[in-house]
Structure 1
Amino acid sequence: MQGKGPGQEALETPRAAGLAGVVFALLLAAAIVLIRLGIPEGADAVTAQGFTDSGRRSAVQTALALVPFAGIFFLWFVGAVRAHVGAVEDKFLATVLLGSGLVFTATMFGAAAAAGAVLAVAHPSGSTPGLSAWDFGRHFAYTLMTGYAMRMAAVFVCSMSVIGHRLGVLPRWLTMLGFLTALTLLFVSSNVPWAELVFPAWSLVLSVHILVVNGRGRSRAAASA
């Protein structure tokens, strides 16, 4: 069986990153929306009575089922991106990119576990969880998600934007979008509900850009051949 040349590898790695990024973005966005709907903040979360609603419980259960797969595709996305730029980029940025991605995944899983704990305290099904347990689990889940996971996501977005800018593989508008996304995740997401959706939105835009550029590269390579 004939081996693959360097040109083929350069084309296939970004394509894998783009596909993994698209799936991750869709799964994470769906999980965030379901968690927000199932475990609300603000006035809707003063008491735990609303959590006995079967719709909210189903929303949280679905979100918890999606989070592990979102983490898997995110790690695939990070690995594919590093495989493409790791040999060129300096070790500092490559380490920051990998480290922030791993910490984001860990804190995202922790937030999902905390949301699962909120779900578990309402047992048997249909009972109302105690107010102290409800408040603790709800605040713990949102603190992990908006206070820690999204700030690690901001570091990931910023380092990815810097790497893309230095290598010249990201257009100027996408680099600026990355920096704006990082600032939003750092300073806004913990105070403004739903602001964390900017991370899957940025991931989707980046992944679609990778796929489009990869498709153009494959077309040019086929034409030259």
Structure 2
Amino acid sequence: MATQRTKGHALQTPRAAGLAGVVFAVLLAAAIILIRLAIPEGADAVTIRGFDDSSRRNAVKTALALVPFAGIFFLWFVGVLRAHVGDAEDKFIATVFLGSGLIFVASMFAAAAAAGGVLSVGAPAGNDPGLPSWDFGRHFAYTLLTDYAMRMAAVFTLTTSTLGYRLGIFSRWLTLLGLLVAVTLLFVAATVAWSELVFPLWSLIVSIYILVVSRAPEPDGGKAA
């Protein structure tokens, strides 16, 4: 009897899991804003003496502390998207979708770890401003985030939008928004400050869209079956 019940009823994604994308969007946006406020001109403006300012240093530390939690909720967000797509997903696009999402998280974690290491080496007062490790680390972390993580986010956005449109689960305006966000992340995010915020904004909109659609009442035909 228990075996028949397991086969007859597939596990359903909890409704609360749909909020994962919202939480991820808020955490990532907060981390980006804190980093941009603390380092408005990017990696070239970061010097060891510049981090003698405790408010700037604390802002970066707070941003780095948010990154692991943003990554965790992003993985839940990926799970929600896959559950929303269902078994009809295109295997090729779904593979790129999942792979780009995982590489995005890995790149984001690596950038945060590198930035944390740089901060721990260069932040204490009295360190030599010419430390080669500081110069290498700050550019490594910044490049990994803006060039690699954001471009993986672009691939994730593009494949998600394509998959959603082909399966008819995303509306046309949401698909076009995803394409615009992907192009921005691919060609603009590495050079234009604050443009990387389009990714958490897109994630927030998609999450709200899925929450609204999943709460919509099912047609009577589905009940009759």
TM-score by length of 2: 0.86
What is residue 45 of structure 1 aligned with on the other side? 45
Query: What corresponds to 1:212 in structure 2?
Result: 212
Q: 1:8–1:114: structure 2 CA closer, same or farther, 3 Å change rule? A: closer
Match of 1:112, as an amino acid?
A
The letter for the 2-side match of 1:100 is S
Q: Distance in 2 between matches of 1:43 and 1:155?
A: 24
Which runs of structure 2 are paired with 1:137-148 in the superposition (5 Å)? 137-148=137-148
How far did 1:194 drift? 1.1
User: Secondary structure in 1 aligned to 2:169?
Assistant: coil
Residue 18 of structure 1, CA deviation = 2.9
Over 3 Å counting, the alpha-carbon distance change for 1:209 and 1:119 in structure 2 is same
Please give the per-residue CA displacement for 1:118-174, whole angstroms capped at 9, x wherever unaligned.
211135x44456244433222111100110000000000000001110111111111
The aligned runs of 1:75-86 (5 Å cut-off) are: 75-86=75-86
How far apart, in 1, do the equivalents of 2:206 and 2:7 lie?
Answer: 26
Amino acid at match of 2:208: V
Report percent identity of matched pairs: 66
- Consecutive unaligned residues of structure 1, counting only runs of 5 or more, are none
> Counterparts in 2 of 1:90-169, with a 5 A limit?
90-122=90-122, 125-128=124-127, 130-131=129-130, 132-169=132-169
The aligned residue for residue 22 of structure 1 is 22
Shift in alpha-carbon separation, 1:43–1:110, aligned structure 2, 3 A: closer
**Separation (CA, whole Å) in 1 of partners of 2:134 and 2:40:** 11
Cα distance in structure 1, aligned partners of 2:43 and 2:28: 25
**CA separation in 2, counterparts of 1:177 and 1:6?**
35
- The verdict on how the C-alpha distance between 1:41 and 1:28 changes in structure 2, with shifts beyond 3 A counting, is same
1:17 to 1:94, Cα distance in 2 relative to 1, 3 A: farther
Deviations 1:3-44 (Å, cap 9, x if unpaired)? 7986993xx46x455311000000001111112223343598
C-alpha RMSD over aligned residues: 2.7
Aligned residues: 218
Distance (Å, rounded) in 2 between the aligned partners of 1:43 and 1:165: 38
Aligned residue in 2 for 1:201 = 201
The worse-fitting range, judged by mean Cα deviation, of 48-57 and 105-114 is: 48-57
Aligned partners of 1:38 and 1:213: how far apart in 2? 38
Alpha-carbon distance change, 43 to 64 in structure 1, aligned in 2, over 3 angstroms? closer
Q: Contact 2:90 / 2:163 at 8 angstroms: preserved in 1?
A: no
Q: Where has structure 1 moved over 6 Å in runs of 4 or more?
A: 1-8
State the SS of the aligned residue for 2:88: coil
Alpha-carbon distance, 1:47 to partner: 3.7
Deviation at 1:60, TM superposition (A): 1.1
CA distance in 1, matches of 2:94, 2:43: 43
* 1:67-105 deviation line (CA, Å, top 9, x unaligned): 000000001111222133241112101101100000000
Cα deviation for residue 211 of structure 1 reads 1.1
Could you list the runs of 5+ residues in structure 2 that have no partner in the other structure? none
**What is the one-letter code of the residue matched to 2:162?**
V
* 1:33–1:5 Cα change, 3 Å: farther
